[in-house]
Structure 1
Amino acid sequence: MLLKNYTSHILAFSKCLILSFFIVLTACKTETPHERTIERGKIADSIMVVSAREEASRIGAEIMRKGGNAFDALIAVDMALNVAYPFAGSLGGGGFMVYRKANGEVGSIDYREKAPIAATHDMYLDAEGNPVDSLSRQGPLAVGVPGSIAGMFAIHEKLGSLPMAEILQPVIELAENGYQITDNQLARFQYYASVFDKVNEKETLYSIGFRESDSTKIKSGDLVKNPQLAETLKRIAANGKQEFYEGETAQKLVEFIQNHGGIITLDDLKSYEAVWRKPIISNYKNLRVIGMPPPSSGGVCLAEILKMIEPYDLKSFGHNSVKSIQVITEAERRAYADRSFFLGDPDFNDIPIDSLTSKDYAVKRMTNFSFDKATPSSEVKHGVISGYESMETTHFSLIDQYGNAVALTTTLNGAYGSKLYVDELGFFLNNEMDDFSVKPGEPNMFGLIGAEANKIEPQKRMLSSMTPTIVEKEGKLWMTVGTPGGSTIITSVLQTILNVAVFDYGMQEAVDAPRFHHQWLPDVVTFEPDAFGKELLDTLSNKGYEIRQENSVILGKVDGVLVLPDGSLEGGADRRGDDTAVGF
Structure 2
Amino acid sequence: MRHTILSLALILIHLHGPGLAQEIQPLAAPLRLPPRQPVDLAQGSAGVVASASPLASAIGCDCLADGGNAVDAAIAVGFALAVTWPEAGNLGGGGFMLVAPAGSEEPSADRIVRCIDYRETAPSAATEDSFVNWTDRRHPRMAGTPGTVRGFESAHRRYGSMPWKRLIEPSIRLAREGFLVDRYLAYSLNSVLSDPLIRDHDRYAEFRRVYQHPSHSLWRPGDRLLQPDLAKTLETIAENGADGFYTGRVADAIDRQMRSDDGLISRQDLHDYQPVVRTAIERSVLGYQVFGAPPPSSGGLTVGLQLKMIESLGLQPQADVPWTVDHLHLMSEVMRRAFRQRAAFLGDPDFSTLQLDGFSDQAAARLAAEIDHRHATPSGELAGDIALTDGPYESEQTTHYSVIDATGMAVSNTTTLEQSFGSLSVVAGCGFLLNNEMGDFNWRPGYTNTEGAIGTSANLVAPGKRMLSSMSPTIVKQDGKVRLIVGSPGGRTIINSVCETIVQTLLFDRSLADAVDAPRFHHQWFPDAIYLEGFDPQAYSGMIGPLQSRGHVVIQTPGRRQGAVNAIEVDLDSGIATAVADWRRGGAARAVRSKPVANPTASRAR
Q: Which residue of 2 aligns with 1:123?
A: 130
Match of 2:205 among 199, 202, 212: 202
1:395 paired to 2:400 = yes
Cα separation, 2, equivalents of 1:73 and 1:533:
39
1:375-403 Cα offsets, whole Å, 9 max, x none, are 1101112699xxxxxx2210000001121
Q: What are the equivalent positions in structure 2 for 1:501-580 lying under 5 Å apart? A: 501-529=506-534, 530-551=537-558, 553-564=560-571, 565-580=573-588
SS at 1:459 equivalent: coil
- Preserved contact between residue 257 and residue 428 of structure 2 (Cα < 8 Å): no
CA contact (8 A) 2:283 2:304 kept: yes
Equivalent in the alignment of 1:133: 135
Question: CA shift at 1:422, angstroms?
Answer: 1.7
| Contact 2:288–2:477 (CA under 8 A) maintained in structure 1 | yes
Q: Pick the aligned partner of 1:372 from 371, 374, 380.
A: 374
Structure 1, residues 330-351: CA drift from partner, whole Å, max 9, x if none? 1110010011110000001111
- Structure 1 counterpart of 2:186: 186
1:112-152 residue CA offsets vs partner (Å, 9 max, x unmatched): 00000000111123xxxxx3321xx1111100000001101
Q: Superposed, which structure 2 residues align to 1:410-559 within 5 Å?
A: 410-440=415-445, 442=447, 447-529=452-534, 530-551=537-558, 553-559=560-566
Residue 200 of structure 1: how far off its partner (Å): 2.4
Separation (CA, whole Å) in 2 of partners of 1:498 and 1:266:
45
Per-residue CA deviation, residues 59-107 of structure 1 (Å, 9 max, x unaligned), is 0110110001111111100000000000001101000011111125211
- 2:325 aligned with 1:322, yes or no? yes
Which residue of 1 is the match for residue 254 of structure 2? 253
Q: Check whether the contact 1:301–1:339 (CA below 8 A) recurs between aligned residues.
A: yes
Residue 326 to residue 111, structure 1, CA distance change in 2 (3 Å):
same
Residue equivalent to 1:298: 299
Distance 1:445 1:146 in 2: 31
Structure 1, 223-232 or 446-455: larger mean CA deviation: 446-455
Residue 560 of structure 1 aligns to a residue in which SS? strand
Cα gap change, 1:93 to 1:446, in 2 (>3 Å): farther
- Matched residue, 2:22: none
1: distance between equivalents of 2:240 and 2:39?
A: 47
Aligned counterparts of 1:268 and 1:444: Cα–Cα separation in 2? 33
Displacement of 1:512 in angstroms is 1.1
More moved, 469-478 vs 546-555? 546-555
Q: Tell me if 1:289 matches 2:290.
A: yes
Secondary structure, aligned partner of 1:133: coil
* TM-score between the two structures when normalised by the length of structure 2: 0.84
Partners of 2:581 and 2:63 in 1: how far apart?
20
Contact 1:40–1:507 (8 Å) recurs in 2: no
Whole-angstrom CA distance in 1 between matches of 2:584 and 2:282: 30
What residue number does 1:97 align with?
97
Q: CA deviation at 1:215?
A: 5.5
Check the 8 A contact 1:392/1:414 in 2, yes or no: yes
Q: Which amino acid aligns with 1:167?
A: L
Contact preservation (8 Å) 1:39, 1:506: no
Asked whether 1:162 is paired with 2:162, we answer yes
Q: Deviations over 1:304-335 (max 9, x none)?
A: 11111112221256641111112211111001
Larger Rg: 1
SS at match of 2:466: coil
- Structure 2 residue aligned with 1:5: none
Give the residue type in structure 2 aligned to 1:569.
A
Is residue 110 from structure 1 mapped to residue 117 from structure 2 by the alignment? yes
Match of 2:421, SS state, is: coil
* Counterpart AA for 1:231: K
Aligned counterpart, 1:21: none
| Aligned equivalent of 2:272 | 271
Query: How many angstroms apart in 2 are the aligned matches of 1:39 and 1:350?
Result: 42
Equivalents in 2 of 1:531, 1:247: separation in Å? Answer: 56
**Larger mean Cα displacement after TM superposition, 198-207 or 548-557:** 198-207
Paired residues of 1:46 and 1:400 also in contact (CA < 8 A): yes
Offset, 1:199 = 6.4
- Normalization by structure 1: what TM-score? 0.87
Amino acid across the alignment from 2:159 = L
Residue 239 (structure 2) aligns with: 238
Asked whether the equivalents of residues 449 and 521 of structure 1 are also in contact (C-alpha less than 8 Å), the reply is no
Question: Where does residue 65 of structure 1 map in the other structure?
Answer: 65
Taking the aligned partners of 1:377 and 1:54, their CA distance within structure 2 comes to 41
Assess if the C-alpha contact under 8 Å between 1:40 and 1:570 holds in 2.
no
Letter in 2 for 1:124: F
1:228 aligns with 2:229: yes
Three-state SS of the structure 1 residue aligned to 2:284 is strand
What letter matches 2:184 in structure 1?
N
Aligned to 1:387: none
The alpha-carbon distance between structure 1 residues 226 and 324, as it changes in their structure 2 partners (threshold 3 A), is: same
CA, structure 1 residues 267+43, in 2 after alignment: closer, same or farther (shift >3 Å)? same
Structure 2: unaligned runs, 5 residues or longer: 1-37, 105-110, 387-395, 593-606
**Is the contact between residue 289 and residue 470 of structure 1 (CA under 8 Å) also seen in structure 2?**
yes
* Residues 208 and 96 of structure 1, relative CA distance in 2, 3 Å threshold: same
2:345 pairs with 1:337? no
Q: Would you say the 8 A contact 2:450–2:527 is kept in 1? A: no
Say if 1:216 and 1:133 are closer, same or farther in 2 by CA, change over 3 A.
Answer: closer
Aligned 8 A contact 1:48 1:398 in 2: yes
**Are the counterparts in 1 of residues 40 and 581 from structure 2 also a CA contact under 8 Å?**
no
1:523 and 1:446 mapped to 2: Cα distance?
Answer: 8
Taking the aligned partners of 2:116 and 2:451, their CA distance within structure 1 comes to 24
Supply the AA of the counterpart residue of 2:577: L
Deviations 1:13-45 (A, max 9, x none): xxxxxxxxxxxxxxxxxxxxxxxxx99932222
Query: Equivalents in 1 of 2:181, 2:317: separation in Å?
Result: 45
Contact 1:149 1:244 in 2 (8 A): yes
Q: Would you say 1:142 and 2:150 are equivalent positions?
A: no
CA contact (8 A) 1:139 1:199 kept: no
Task: Quickly say closer, same or farther: Cα 1:572–1:382, change in 2 above 3 A.
Answer: farther
1:367 offset after TM fit, Å?
3.1
How far apart in 2 are the matches of 1:450 and 1:500?
36
Higher mean displacement: 68-77 or 438-447: 438-447
Cα distance in 2, alignment partners of residues 224 and 444 from structure 1: 43
Contact 1:228 1:426 in 2 (8 A): yes
> Does the CA-based 8 Å contact 1:40-1:509 persist in structure 2?
no
1: CA distance between counterparts of 2:294 and 2:168? 29
What per-residue deviation string (whole Å, max 9, x for no partner) do you get for residues 355-380 of structure 1?
Answer: 23322111222333111210110111
Size of the alignment, in residue pairs?
Answer: 530
Please say which of residues 553-562 and 527-536 is displaced more in the overlay.
527-536
Query: C-alpha distance in 1, partners of 2:448/2:197?
Result: 23
Amino acid at match of 1:333: R
- Which moves more between the two structures, 469-478 or 293-302? 469-478
